[in-house]
């Protein structure tokens, strides 16, 4: 008898896995790999946040909490949203999950089902399509181009909408592009989504990591009248260097949030009690750590941009936020490595750079754009400089 469910058999293996496994095995052999593939800040969680968690443990705050999160955290999320976005919500409109990823997963389970189509704008975060598929729905990818700063055309989004389209997932600032959608794009998109009545999932996980000094912006700051059809997802992972704590949340119409909570109540229950206390401190405590980390990312973004643009044939829009740059390497496709092997696609160039330059990156195909590689600048300045120098040298050997 077949052991595995069709659901898991249909799940595509991650294109990043092969590269990751290779990078790890090279590192284990003692080879000096520069890792520019990280999806998390390289900073440690700030001390005042750690202290709050230690205090929670010492005070015995180690039991089940309400499924949607402790009341004081839900209130802190609402207050921070009011302060940062100027949007008014009630604590009952918030559910705390084990990371933004679980909030997205549970939302997809609550909203989507077989027969539904969900629009995902490329380049997209790797997990969106599988999350939609695991809910039985069909991801519909809308392309964009490097030439247009990875902003899809509104007419292409409109064309992708069918009677089956149930929702859309937005992510700006974006992983993997490091770009922020323009105000004009957001306004036009908002009016299209209003007209079509689609459910909007706004993944705002990088909202504070922007380099223009602006406060957070999303579809609701552009069009507050979309409130009834929008759910915002966020968390502490990227903003406060807390990826391992696993705290994220969804905020939106109460009936949807209740549905998410119902699903969570039958799967993981509450997010970790102690981590919730840490997240609470992150939100209500001093915020200078966020500005400091953002300043570092901004400096490294510039460093990376300046170095990459010196290399012939590479192009990218300057990162405007996050800690990622999405770089077009396609002018090297069709060239041959010294071994004789031809570079054909993003996986090929990624493997070549790992072998030849000993630099780990992530192939763009994983994000829906095979012309590019994602390079993370959540690394020390010296690693970025050296990593790019090595990439330049390896590329010069292609003929």
Residue with smaller CB distance to ligand PLP, 327 or 357: 327
Tokens at 151, concatenated: 């902003």
Check if the beta carbon of residue 237 is closer than 8 Å to that of residue 100.
Answer: yes
Counting Cβ atoms within 10 Å, is residue 312 exposed (0-12), middle (13-18) or buried (19+)? exposed
User: Smallest distance, Å, CB 144 to ligand PLP?
Assistant: 16
Examine residue 85 and tell whether it contacts ligand PLP (CB under 6 A).
no
Which residue in 16, 175, 230, 239 binds ligand PLP (CB under 6 A)?
Answer: 175
Examine residue 248 and tell whether it contacts ligand PLP (CB under 6 A).
yes
Residue with smaller CB distance to ligand PLP, 204 or 356: 204
Examine residue 264 and tell whether it contacts ligand PLP (CB under 6 A).
no
Which residue in 125, 240, 323, 329 binds ligand PLP (CB under 6 A)?
Answer: 125
User: Smallest distance, Å, CB 384 to ligand PLP?
Assistant: 19
Examine residue 243 and tell whether it contacts ligand PLP (CB under 6 A).
yes
User: Smallest distance, Å, CB 73 to ligand PLP?
Assistant: 14
Residue with smaller CB distance to ligand PLP, 232 or 384: 232
Return all residues near 270 (Cβ < 8 A) that are at least 6 apart. Answer: 64, 65, 66, 67, 68, 69, 96, 264, 276
Residue with smaller CB distance to ligand PLP, 126 or 347: 126
The rounded distance, in Å, linking the Cα atoms of 251 and 78 is: 9
User: Smallest distance, Å, CB 247 to ligand PLP?
Assistant: 7
Check if the beta carbon of residue 139 is closer than 8 Å to that of residue 173.
Answer: no
Counting Cβ atoms within 10 Å, is residue 390 exposed (0-12), middle (13-18) or buried (19+)? middle
User: Smallest distance, Å, CB 163 to ligand PLP?
Assistant: 28
Return all residues near 81 (Cβ < 8 A) that are at least 6 apart. Answer: 87, 89, 232, 251
Which residue in 101, 277, 358, 371 binds ligand PLP (CB under 6 A)?
Answer: 101
Examine residue 235 and tell whether it contacts ligand PLP (CB under 6 A).
yes
Q: Among residue numbers 16 through 55, which ones bind ligand PLP (CB under 6 A)?
A: 39
Max Cα separation, the chain? 64
Tokens at 296, concatenated: 């570092």
Q: Where are the beta strands (DSSP E) in the chain?
A: 34-35, 94-97, 117-121, 138-142, 165-171, 199-203, 230-235, 248-251, 324-328, 359-360, 362-363, 372-376
Q: Which stretch binds ligand PLP (CB under 6 A): 97-105, 295-303, 340-348, 350-358?
A: 97-105
Quick one: which of 225, 205, 227 has its CA closest to 216? 205
Question: Nearest-5° angle of CA 299, CA 243, CA 149?
Answer: 45
Which residue in 203, 356, 369, 370 binds ligand PLP (CB under 6 A)?
Answer: 203
Examine residue 216 and tell whether it contacts ligand PLP (CB under 6 A).
no
Residue with smaller CB distance to ligand PLP, 100 or 220: 100
Q: Which stretch binds ligand PLP (CB under 6 A): 13-21, 95-103, 106-114, 151-159?
A: 95-103
Tokens at 99, concatenated: 């990371």
Examine residue 237 and tell whether it contacts ligand PLP (CB under 6 A).
yes
User: Smallest distance, Å, CB 171 to ligand PLP?
Assistant: 5
- In the complex, the residues that contact ligand PLP under the rule CB under 6 A are 39, 99-101, 125, 171, 175, 203, 205, 235, 237, 243, 248
């Amino acid at each position: 008898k077949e052991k595995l469910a069709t659901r898991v058999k249909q799940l595509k293996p991650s294109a990043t896995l092969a590269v990751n496994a290779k990078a790890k095995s090279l590192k284990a052999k003692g080879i000096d790999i520069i890792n520019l593939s990280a999806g998390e800040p390289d900073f440690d969680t700030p001390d005042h946040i750690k202290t709050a968690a230690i205090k929670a443990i010492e005070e015995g705050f180690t039991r089940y909490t309400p499924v949607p999160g402790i009341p004081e955290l839900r209130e802190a999320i609402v207050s921070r949203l009011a302060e940062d976005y100027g949007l008014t919500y009630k604590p009952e409109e918030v559910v705390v999950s084990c990371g933004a990823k679980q909030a997205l997963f549970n939302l997809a389970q609550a909203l989507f089902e077989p027969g539904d189509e969900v629009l995902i704008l490329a380049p997209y975060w790797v997990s969106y399509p599988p999350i939609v598929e695991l809910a039985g729905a069909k991801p519909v990818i809308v392309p964009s181009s490097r030439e247009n700063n990875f902003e899809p055309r509104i007419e292409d989004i409109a064309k992708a909408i069918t009677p089956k389209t149930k929702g859309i997932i937005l992510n700006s600032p974006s992983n993997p592009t490091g770009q922020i959608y323009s105000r004009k794009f957001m306004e036009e998109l908002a009016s299209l989504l209003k007209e079509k009545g689609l459910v909007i999932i706004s993944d705002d996980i990088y909202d504070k990591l922007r380099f223009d000094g602006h406060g957070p912006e999303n579809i609701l700051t552009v069009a507050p009248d979309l409130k009834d059809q929008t759910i915002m997802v966020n968390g502490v992972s990227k903003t406060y260097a807390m990826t391992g704590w696993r705290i994220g949340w969804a905020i939106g119409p109460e009936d949807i949030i209740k549905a998410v909570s119902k699903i969570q109540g039958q799967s993981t229950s509450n997010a970790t009690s102690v981590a919730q206390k840490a997240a609470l401190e992150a939100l209500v405590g001093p915020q200078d750590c966020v500005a400091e980390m953002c300043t570092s990312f901004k400096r490294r973004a510039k460093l990376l941009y300046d170095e990459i643009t010196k290399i012939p044939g590479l192009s990218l829009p300057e990162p405007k936020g996050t800690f990622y740059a999405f770089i077009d390497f396609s002018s090297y496709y069709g060239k041959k490595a010294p071994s004789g092997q031809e570079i054909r696609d993003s996986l090929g160039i990624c493997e070549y750079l790992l072998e030849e330059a000993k630099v780990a990156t992530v192939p763009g195909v994983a994000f829906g754009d095979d012309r590019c590689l994602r390079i993370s600048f959540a690394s020390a300045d010296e690693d970025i400089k050296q990593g790019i120098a090595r990439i330049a040298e390896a590329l010069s050997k292609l003929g």
